[in-house]
A = this chain, B = another copy of it.
Protein backbone atom coordinates (compact mmCIF):
# COMPACT_ATOMS: atom_id res chain seq x y z
CA UNK A 1 0.00 0.00 0.00
CA UNK A 2 1.28 3.44 -0.95
CA UNK A 3 1.59 5.99 1.81
CA UNK A 4 1.59 9.77 2.03
CA UNK A 5 2.82 12.07 4.74
CA UNK A 6 0.66 15.02 5.62
CA UNK A 7 1.60 18.34 7.22
CA UNK A 8 -1.03 20.70 8.60
CA UNK A 9 -0.47 24.47 8.76
CA UNK A 10 -2.72 25.85 11.48
CA UNK A 11 -4.81 23.99 14.04
CA UNK A 12 -7.90 26.15 14.44
CA UNK A 13 -11.44 25.12 13.51
CA UNK A 14 -10.71 23.59 10.09
CA UNK A 15 -7.25 22.21 10.90
CA UNK A 16 -8.67 20.49 13.97
CA UNK A 17 -11.75 19.19 12.15
CA UNK A 18 -9.62 17.80 9.33
CA UNK A 19 -7.36 16.05 11.84
CA UNK A 20 -10.33 14.52 13.65
CA UNK A 21 -11.83 13.07 10.45
CA UNK A 22 -8.48 11.68 9.27
CA UNK A 23 -8.06 9.87 12.59
CA UNK A 24 -11.67 8.70 13.12
CA UNK A 25 -12.24 7.43 9.57
CA UNK A 26 -8.74 6.13 8.83
CA UNK A 27 -9.77 2.51 8.14
CA UNK A 28 -12.55 3.59 5.77
CA UNK A 29 -10.37 6.13 3.93
CA UNK A 30 -7.45 3.73 3.52
CA UNK A 31 -9.81 1.04 2.21
CA UNK A 32 -11.50 3.40 -0.26
CA UNK A 33 -8.24 4.88 -1.58
CA UNK A 34 -5.87 1.95 -1.28
CA UNK A 35 -3.41 4.41 0.26
CA UNK A 36 -2.30 4.88 3.86
CA UNK A 37 -1.31 8.16 5.48
CA UNK A 38 0.47 9.65 8.41
CA UNK A 39 0.08 13.11 9.90
CA UNK A 40 3.71 14.08 10.35
CA UNK A 41 3.74 17.69 11.51
CA UNK A 42 1.33 20.36 12.65
CA UNK A 43 2.15 24.05 12.75
CA UNK A 44 0.40 25.34 15.84
CA UNK A 45 0.66 28.59 17.75
CA UNK A 46 -0.80 27.26 20.97
CA UNK A 47 0.27 23.62 21.55
CA UNK A 48 -2.49 23.37 24.18
CA UNK A 49 -4.94 23.06 21.29
CA UNK A 50 -3.37 19.74 20.30
CA UNK A 51 -4.36 18.18 23.64
CA UNK A 52 -8.06 18.78 23.01
CA UNK A 53 -7.77 16.57 19.91
CA UNK A 54 -5.54 13.95 21.55
CA UNK A 55 -2.58 14.81 19.35
CA UNK A 56 0.90 13.74 20.45
CA UNK A 57 2.82 16.94 21.20
CA UNK A 58 5.84 15.64 19.27
CA UNK A 59 3.93 16.48 16.05
CA UNK A 60 3.91 20.19 16.87
CA UNK A 61 6.22 22.61 15.14
CA UNK A 62 6.48 26.39 15.29
CA UNK A 63 8.17 26.60 11.90
CA UNK A 64 6.20 26.53 8.65
CA UNK A 65 9.47 25.66 6.86
CA UNK A 66 9.38 22.21 8.50
CA UNK A 67 6.22 21.55 6.53
CA UNK A 68 6.46 23.52 3.27
CA UNK A 69 10.11 22.56 2.74
CA UNK A 70 10.24 19.33 4.76
CA UNK A 71 11.57 16.35 2.82
CA UNK A 72 9.21 14.05 4.68
CA UNK A 73 6.00 15.89 3.71
CA UNK A 74 4.01 14.98 0.55
CA UNK A 75 0.81 16.93 1.11
CA UNK A 76 0.14 20.20 2.92
CA UNK A 77 -3.18 21.27 4.43
CA UNK A 78 -3.11 25.07 4.67
CA UNK A 79 -5.53 26.12 7.38
CA UNK A 80 -4.09 29.29 8.84
CA UNK A 81 -6.46 31.62 6.94
CA UNK A 82 -5.80 35.16 5.68
CA UNK A 83 -4.04 36.05 2.47
CA UNK A 84 -0.46 36.21 3.78
CA UNK A 85 1.68 34.39 4.74
CA UNK A 86 -0.75 31.64 3.63
CA UNK A 87 -0.28 32.33 -0.11
CA UNK A 88 3.49 32.53 0.19
CA UNK A 89 3.60 29.24 2.08
CA UNK A 90 1.31 27.48 -0.39
CA UNK A 91 3.42 28.70 -3.33
CA UNK A 92 6.58 27.40 -1.68
CA UNK A 93 5.02 24.02 -0.90
CA UNK A 94 3.68 23.63 -4.45
CA UNK A 95 6.98 24.59 -6.06
CA UNK A 96 8.60 21.99 -3.82
CA UNK A 97 6.29 19.35 -5.33
CA UNK A 98 3.95 19.08 -2.36
CA UNK A 99 0.24 19.08 -3.18
CA UNK A 100 -1.80 21.61 -1.24
CA UNK A 101 -5.37 21.44 0.03
CA UNK A 102 -6.89 24.64 1.37
CA UNK A 103 -10.19 26.07 2.62
CA UNK A 104 -8.71 29.59 2.42
CA UNK A 105 -11.08 31.44 0.08
CA UNK A 106 -9.46 34.85 0.57
CA UNK A 107 -6.02 33.58 -0.45
CA UNK A 108 -7.40 31.48 -3.31
CA UNK A 109 -9.65 34.25 -4.67
CA UNK A 110 -6.69 36.64 -4.68
CA UNK A 111 -4.14 34.22 -6.11
CA UNK A 112 -5.73 31.29 -7.93
CA UNK A 113 -3.64 31.75 -11.07
CA UNK A 114 -0.36 31.98 -9.17
CA UNK A 115 -1.24 28.89 -7.18
CA UNK A 116 -2.12 26.91 -10.32
CA UNK A 117 1.11 28.01 -12.00
CA UNK A 118 3.16 26.98 -8.97
CA UNK A 119 1.40 23.60 -8.89
CA UNK A 120 2.27 23.06 -12.55
CA UNK A 121 5.87 24.09 -11.90
CA UNK A 122 6.24 21.67 -9.00
CA UNK A 123 4.27 18.83 -10.59
CA UNK A 124 1.86 19.03 -7.67
CA UNK A 125 -1.82 19.73 -7.23
CA UNK A 126 -3.77 22.55 -5.58
CA UNK A 127 -7.27 21.59 -4.45
CA UNK A 128 -9.83 24.06 -3.10
CA UNK A 129 -13.20 22.33 -2.60
CA UNK A 130 -13.52 23.64 0.97
CA UNK A 131 -13.27 27.29 -0.15
CA UNK A 132 -16.93 27.56 -1.20
CA UNK A 133 -19.92 26.09 0.60
CA UNK A 134 -17.98 24.26 3.32
CA UNK A 135 -18.77 20.56 3.01
CA UNK A 136 -20.93 20.90 -0.11
CA UNK A 137 -19.02 19.31 -3.00
CA UNK A 138 -20.03 21.95 -5.54
CA UNK A 139 -16.61 22.94 -6.90
CA UNK A 140 -15.60 19.36 -7.67
CA UNK A 141 -18.97 18.85 -9.38
CA UNK A 142 -18.49 21.97 -11.50
CA UNK A 143 -14.97 21.04 -12.57
CA UNK A 144 -15.56 17.30 -13.00
CA UNK A 145 -18.99 15.71 -13.40
CA UNK A 146 -20.64 18.84 -14.86
CA UNK A 147 -17.69 20.09 -16.87
CA UNK A 148 -19.21 19.05 -20.20
CA UNK A 149 -21.65 21.93 -19.73
CA UNK A 150 -21.44 25.52 -20.83
CA UNK A 151 -22.79 27.30 -17.77
CA UNK A 152 -25.09 30.30 -18.09
CA UNK A 153 -25.76 31.22 -14.46
CA UNK A 154 -24.52 30.60 -10.95
CA UNK A 155 -26.50 31.67 -7.89
CA UNK A 156 -25.13 31.02 -4.44
CA UNK A 157 -26.16 31.37 -0.83
CA UNK A 158 -22.58 30.96 0.28
CA UNK A 159 -22.37 32.76 3.61
CA UNK A 160 -23.95 31.04 6.59
CA UNK A 161 -23.69 34.02 8.96
CA UNK A 162 -25.78 36.34 6.81
CA UNK A 163 -28.24 33.60 5.89
CA UNK A 164 -28.72 32.84 9.58
CA UNK A 165 -29.30 36.51 10.36
CA UNK A 166 -31.78 37.05 7.49
CA UNK A 167 -33.67 33.86 8.39
CA UNK A 168 -33.98 34.87 12.06
CA UNK A 169 -35.02 38.45 11.19
CA UNK A 170 -37.62 37.17 8.73
CA UNK A 171 -39.03 34.29 10.76
CA UNK A 172 -39.01 35.84 14.22
CA UNK A 173 -39.34 39.53 13.46
CA UNK A 174 -36.21 40.39 15.46
CA UNK A 175 -34.06 43.42 14.55
CA UNK A 176 -30.60 43.08 12.95
CA UNK A 177 -28.55 44.07 16.03
CA UNK A 178 -30.29 41.59 18.28
CA UNK A 179 -29.96 38.70 15.81
CA UNK A 180 -26.29 39.50 15.18
CA UNK A 181 -25.59 39.25 18.94
CA UNK A 182 -27.43 35.92 19.07
CA UNK A 183 -25.45 34.65 16.07
CA UNK A 184 -22.18 35.68 17.74
CA UNK A 185 -23.22 33.88 20.95
CA UNK A 186 -23.98 30.71 18.97
CA UNK A 187 -20.71 30.82 17.01
CA UNK A 188 -22.45 31.56 13.68
CA UNK A 189 -20.85 35.04 13.51
CA UNK A 190 -17.36 36.32 14.24
CA UNK A 191 -16.60 38.92 16.92
CA UNK A 192 -15.83 41.25 14.00
CA UNK A 193 -18.56 40.32 11.50
CA UNK A 194 -17.54 42.85 8.80
CA UNK A 195 -16.29 40.39 6.17
CA UNK A 196 -19.54 38.42 6.43
CA UNK A 197 -22.22 41.10 6.77
CA UNK A 198 -20.66 43.42 4.18
CA UNK A 199 -20.56 40.63 1.58
CA UNK A 200 -16.73 40.47 1.32
CA UNK A 201 -16.64 36.74 2.08
CA UNK A 202 -19.31 36.21 -0.61
CA UNK A 203 -17.28 38.19 -3.15
CA UNK A 204 -14.26 35.94 -2.53
CA UNK A 205 -16.39 32.87 -3.08
CA UNK A 206 -18.10 34.29 -6.18
CA UNK A 207 -14.68 35.07 -7.67
CA UNK A 208 -13.71 31.40 -7.23
CA UNK A 209 -17.06 30.16 -8.60
CA UNK A 210 -16.63 32.34 -11.70
CA UNK A 211 -13.07 31.13 -12.31
CA UNK A 212 -14.26 27.54 -12.30
CA UNK A 213 -17.64 27.91 -14.05
CA UNK A 214 -16.84 30.53 -16.68
CA UNK A 215 -13.05 30.19 -16.94
CA UNK A 216 -12.94 33.92 -16.17
CA UNK A 217 -11.10 35.59 -13.30
CA UNK A 218 -12.62 38.62 -11.64
CA UNK A 219 -10.84 39.93 -8.53
CA UNK A 220 -13.16 40.03 -5.49
CA UNK A 221 -12.67 43.79 -5.14
CA UNK A 222 -14.00 44.27 -8.69
CA UNK A 223 -17.29 42.52 -7.89
CA UNK A 224 -20.11 44.98 -7.06
CA UNK A 225 -20.89 43.97 -3.49
CA UNK A 226 -23.67 44.90 -1.10
CA UNK A 227 -24.07 43.22 2.27
CA UNK A 228 -27.08 42.91 4.55
CA UNK A 229 -26.52 45.80 6.95
CA UNK A 230 -29.11 47.98 5.18
CA UNK A 231 -31.88 45.36 5.20
CA UNK A 232 -34.71 46.58 7.40
CA UNK A 233 -37.59 44.73 9.00
CA UNK A 234 -39.81 46.62 6.55
CA UNK A 235 -37.89 45.20 3.57
CA UNK A 236 -38.35 41.67 4.90
CA UNK A 237 -42.03 42.29 5.64
CA UNK A 238 -42.67 43.67 2.13
CA UNK A 239 -40.98 40.63 0.59
CA UNK A 240 -43.07 38.29 2.75
CA UNK A 241 -46.28 39.98 1.61
CA UNK A 242 -45.28 39.24 -1.98
CA UNK A 243 -44.64 35.57 -1.11
CA UNK A 244 -40.86 36.08 -1.26
CA UNK A 245 -37.81 35.93 1.01
CA UNK A 246 -34.73 38.15 0.93
CA UNK A 247 -31.48 36.21 0.56
CA UNK A 248 -27.91 37.44 0.14
CA UNK A 249 -27.19 36.09 -3.34
CA UNK A 250 -23.83 35.80 -5.07
CA UNK A 251 -24.73 35.85 -8.74
CA UNK A 252 -22.92 35.54 -12.05
CA UNK A 253 -24.67 35.26 -15.40
CA UNK A 254 -23.50 34.98 -18.99
CA UNK A 255 -25.78 36.57 -21.57
CA UNK A 256 -26.33 35.49 -25.19
CA UNK A 257 -23.53 37.72 -26.45
CA UNK A 258 -21.00 36.23 -24.02
CA UNK A 259 -21.03 39.14 -21.56
CA UNK A 260 -20.55 38.06 -17.93
CA UNK A 261 -22.32 40.10 -15.25
CA UNK A 262 -21.79 39.55 -11.53
CA UNK A 263 -22.76 40.93 -8.15
CA UNK A 264 -23.26 40.14 -4.49
CA UNK A 265 -26.56 41.59 -3.35
CA UNK A 266 -29.62 40.91 -1.19
CA UNK A 267 -32.33 39.72 -3.59
CA UNK A 268 -35.99 38.78 -3.30
CA UNK A 269 -36.64 35.16 -4.24
CA UNK A 270 -40.13 33.71 -4.74
CA UNK A 271 -41.14 30.76 -2.53
CA UNK A 272 -41.12 28.51 -5.61
CA UNK A 273 -37.35 28.98 -6.11
CA UNK A 274 -35.32 26.09 -4.67
CA UNK A 275 -32.91 28.55 -3.02
CA UNK A 276 -35.79 30.09 -1.07
CA UNK A 277 -35.96 27.05 1.24
CA UNK A 278 -32.26 27.32 2.13
CA UNK A 279 -32.47 28.75 5.63
CA UNK A 280 -30.37 29.46 8.72
CA UNK A 281 -26.72 28.44 8.52
CA UNK A 282 -27.24 26.26 5.43
CA UNK A 283 -25.66 27.15 2.09
CA UNK A 284 -26.52 26.21 -1.47
CA UNK A 285 -25.12 26.65 -4.95
CA UNK A 286 -27.60 26.70 -7.84
CA UNK A 287 -26.07 26.45 -11.28
CA UNK A 288 -27.52 26.25 -14.79
CA UNK A 289 -25.75 24.41 -17.61
CA UNK A 290 -26.74 24.01 -21.26
CA UNK A 291 -26.99 20.23 -20.95
CA UNK A 292 -27.88 19.51 -17.33
CA UNK A 293 -30.34 22.39 -16.83
CA UNK A 294 -30.63 23.57 -13.22
CA UNK A 295 -28.76 21.73 -10.49
CA UNK A 296 -28.61 22.63 -6.80
CA UNK A 297 -26.18 21.54 -4.09
CA UNK A 298 -27.29 22.05 -0.50
CA UNK A 299 -25.60 21.54 2.87
CA UNK A 300 -23.67 23.07 5.72
CA UNK A 301 -21.42 25.85 4.55
CA UNK A 302 -19.14 26.11 7.57
CA UNK A 303 -17.97 24.43 10.74
CA UNK A 304 -15.07 22.18 11.70
CA UNK A 305 -16.42 18.87 10.42
CA UNK A 306 -18.32 19.97 7.28
CA UNK A 307 -15.35 22.03 6.08
CA UNK A 308 -12.99 19.26 7.22
CA UNK A 309 -15.07 16.83 5.12
CA UNK A 310 -14.26 18.85 2.00
CA UNK A 311 -10.55 19.07 2.91
CA UNK A 312 -10.43 15.31 3.46
CA UNK A 313 -12.29 14.75 0.15
CA UNK A 314 -9.53 16.69 -1.62
CA UNK A 315 -6.84 14.72 0.21
CA UNK A 316 -8.57 11.51 -0.92
CA UNK A 317 -8.63 12.69 -4.56
CA UNK A 318 -4.89 13.26 -4.38
CA UNK A 319 -4.29 9.86 -2.74
CA UNK A 320 -6.39 8.09 -5.41
CA UNK A 321 -4.12 9.43 -8.14
CA UNK A 322 -0.98 7.93 -6.60
Contacts and interface: CB of A to CB of B under 8 A. Distances in A.
Contacts of A306: 291-293
Interface stretch (A105-113, A155-163, A177-185, A295-303): A295-303
B274 A309 contact: no
Interface stretch (A43-51, A220-228, A311-319): A311-319
Interface residues of A, number: 52
Contacts of A290: 24-25, 305
Interface stretch (A5-13, A136-144, A256-264): A136-144
Contacts of A81: none
A295 B291 contact: no
Contact of A21 (B28, B291, B320): B291
Interface in A72-118: none
A53 interface: no
A292 B298 contact: no
A147 interface: yes
Contacts of A303: 293
B313 A144 contact: yes
A305 B317 contact: no
A195 B39 CA distance: 49
Nearest to A29: B148
B293 A147 contact: no
Which 9 A/B pairs are nearest by Cβ-Cβ distance? Answer: A148-B312, A137-B145, A135-B292, A291-B309, A295-B299, A145-B313, A292-B309, A296-B298, A140-B145
